[in-house]
Amino acid sequence: MTTQLLSRFAHAGRASGALRVVRIAAQSGALAGLWLVADFVVRQLHLPVPGGVVGLVALLALLFCGGIAPRWIKAGADWLLSDMLLFFIPAAVAAVQYGGLFREDGWRLALVVVAGTLMVMVAVAFAVDQAARLERRLALRRVMVARHAARV
């Protein structure tokens, strides 16, 4: 009896693990597809903005308007973010290839990288703060509506 339960549990674990891998692959593919569509639009319209930025704005709009539920892309996005370091390997290889450039203008490049990183950090902090304030206001509004409905 115990062996049968363990066998069923192990089989269910493998099945749920395989389902998780398929879910991550499908969601990552959907995010990549959105990027490809956005990149195509940018190229066709000759926009001065990278396709990734347009794709992120489109994804944000879809998330806010309810066109995409966050759970539909969460596992794929989590996987992409957890393995983000792998995406910087080509940049590191390019840095090694252009050693002369770094010797001549390295301080300027470092300044741009540090300033850019700080700007991104400030922008993200501001966006998170504004989103948290919006969530608090919406939660307070829901509580007030519920209290008003309970009184009536």
pLDDT digits (tens, 9 = 90+) for 111-139: 988 999 999 999 999 999 999 999 999 99
Concatenating the DSSP letter of every residue in 28-46 gives HHHHHHHHHHHHHHHHHHT
If you ran DSSP here, which 8-state letter would residue 63 be given?
H
List the one residue out of 43, 72, 74, 37 whose CA is nearest residue 57: 37
Phi, psi torsion values for 136, nearest 5 degrees = -65, -40
Tell me how crowded residue 38 is: count the other CB atoms within 10 A of its CB. Answer: 22
Question: In whole angstroms, what is the distance from residue 126 CA to residue 120 CA?
Answer: 10
Where along the chain do its domains lie?
1-82, 87-152
List the one residue out of 21, 20, 53, 25 whose CA is nearest residue 39: 53
The answer to whether the Cα torsion of 124, 125, 128, 129 is positive or negative is negative
Percent of the chain whose predicted confidence (pLDDT) is above 90: 29
Each residue of 79-94: pLDDT tens digit? 888 877 776 666 667 7
5 pLDDT band, cuts 50/70/90, is: very low
Tell me how crowded residue 77 is: count the other CB atoms within 10 A of its CB. Answer: 17
Question: In whole angstroms, what is the distance from residue 149 CA to residue 152 CA?
Answer: 5
43 with 93: CB under 8 angstroms?
A: no
